[in-house]
Amino acid sequence: MFREEPQSERDVLKRAVAAVRTRMPLGWKLDETYEVNGLNGRRIDATLQITAPDGARARLVFEAKRIIERRDVSGIVNQLKDYLDEGDVPVVAGKYLNPQVRVDLKKQDISYIDATGNMLITAKSPAIYLADRGEDRDPWRGTGRPRGTLRGEPAARVVRALLDFDKAWGIRDLITTSKASTGATYRVLEYLEQETLAARGADGLIRVPDWKRLLEAWADDMTLGATSKVARYIAPRGLESFAAKLCASEDYPYVVTGSIAASEWAPYAPARAAYVYVESVEAASERWDLRPAEASPNVILFEPRKPDDVAFDRAVMSSKGYRIAAPAQVAADLLNGPGRNPSEAEELLAWMSANEGAWRK
């Protein structure tokens, strides 16, 4: 069970120091100090002097915040660097640090700890490595407003528009293009700005600073087939015959994703199965003469909850004559796919990075 929510930065600091203290081996000495002067006259929230049995010392320098969002990380890191002495170990302490914040801190060699138990503290001399896993959701977040995510069809619509078009967006333009509701668009943008996945300029327009990071964040929150009815089949005559049937279904609503679609831009290896979005799995399986097969299927059909699902948006015709989903959709689906699919996604993302003008309108 979690203890009560920390009510102040001092509470956050005391829990952080206590967590480090309880994980150190016998014979190590720890001396904590609060609110001390650092370099450049800056006030340090707390320090923890650690002395090993052989006399080697390391000083942990804590910067504490009750609430830390991803957009706060760069400012906190710069602040720490202002008052670190040589050999100091910077540690960010928070009430709760979400997974993205923890990844960003680790990339910049900043140790961290939060009150739910997430911890990564490292020092070279003396050698220290403390790591633990706490919560991936804030256990103290109120029930009034859910934590923002990129799950669900409205978020997918907004993200797909931001990915598919390389432009600066006005709100009304984004609502019209994405076909998401006004409220959903504002909520998604608020979350994206909070996570620094989108930025509003001085002109009031929305821009995406790093489309790949946005795509990967969306893929982290989505699950292939999670919002769809999924059915597995065998195409008795194999995938080439099935592809021919797709080519002959120009008037039928479908779009291919996964390995087969990715091979249009970034061939990786022969596809083992076809992944296809359709409006009705029953109608599609009958039209294409597919046989139900839970074991070893070579065709997987996804029926979204809505017939105008974003997966169908901005589909393109492949060089082989069947419709495939837009590259951003295919990449996100592959990142969530089984087996070698994530590796195929990386190949596709490399192609997308090298050929941005070919797929971002």
What are the tens digits of pLDDT across the range 214-224? 999 898 888 77
Q: In this predicted structure, what is the pLDDT of residue 339?
A: 85
**Location of each CATH 3.30.460 domain in the chain:** 228-359
Tokens of 291: 């046989």
- In 48-78, which positions are buried (b, 16+ CB within 10 angstroms) versus exposed (e)? bebbbeeeeebbbbbbbbbebbbebbeebbe
Q: In this predicted structure, what is the pLDDT of residue 145?
A: 43
Q: Is the pLDDT at 8 greater than 90, yes or no?
A: no
Q: What is the mean pLDDT of residues 223-252?
A: 89
Q: Is the pLDDT at 344 greater than 80, yes or no?
A: yes
3-state helix/strand/coil string of the chain: CCCCCCCCHHHHHHHHHHHHHHHCCCCCEEEEEEEEECHHHCEEEEEEEEECCCCCEEEEEEEEEEECCHHHHHHHHHHHHHHCCCCCEEEEEEEECCHHHHHHHHHCCCEEEECCCCEEEEECCCCEEEEECCCCCCCCCCCCCCCCCCCCHHHHHHHHHHHHCCCCECHHHHHHHHCCCHHHHHHHHHHHHHCCCCEECCCCCEECCCHHHHHHHHHHHCCCCCCEEEEEEECCCHHHHHHHHHHCCCCCCEEEEHHHHHCCCCCCCCCCCEEEEECCHHHHHHHCCCEECCCCCCEEEEEECCCCCHHHCCCEECCCCCEECCHHHHHHHHHCCCCCHHHHHHHHHHHHHHCHHHHCC
Q: Is the pLDDT at 262 greater than 60, yes or no?
A: yes
Tokens of 315: 């589909």
Q: What is the mean pLDDT of residues 260-278?
A: 94
More confident residue, 68 or 146: 68
Q: Is the pLDDT at 316 greater than 60, yes or no?
A: yes
Q: In this predicted structure, what is the pLDDT of residue 42?
A: 65
What fold is seen in the domain 153-219?
Answer: Arc Repressor Mutant, subunit A (1.10.10)
Q: Which amino acid type is present at position 43?
A: R
Q: What is the mean pLDDT of residues 225-243?
A: 89
Q: In this predicted structure, what is the pLDDT of residue 125?
A: 87
What are the tens digits of pLDDT across the range 180-204? 999 999 999 998 988 889 999 899 9
Q: In this predicted structure, what is the pLDDT of residue 146?
A: 43
Q: Is the pLDDT at 153 greater than 70, yes or no?
A: yes
Confidence of residue 144 (pLDDT cuts 50, 70, 90): very low
Tokens of 23: 């994980």
pTM > 0.75: no
Q: Is the pLDDT at 1 greater than 50, yes or no?
A: no
Q: Is the pLDDT at 345 greater than 90, yes or no?
A: yes
Top-level class of domain 9-132: alpha beta
Most confident of 28-37, 140-149, 252-261: 252-261
- Identify the CATH assignment for 228-359 out of 2.60.40, 3.40.50, 3.30.460, 3.90.660: 3.30.460
Q: In this predicted structure, what is the pLDDT of residue 140?
A: 80
What are the tens digits of pLDDT across the range 80-111? 777 788 889 999 999 999 888 999 999 999 99
% residues pLDDT > 90 (the chain): 64
Phi, psi of 239 (to 5 degrees): -70, -30
Q: In this predicted structure, what is the pLDDT of residue 294?
A: 84
**Location of each CATH 3.40.1350.10 domain in the chain:** 9-132
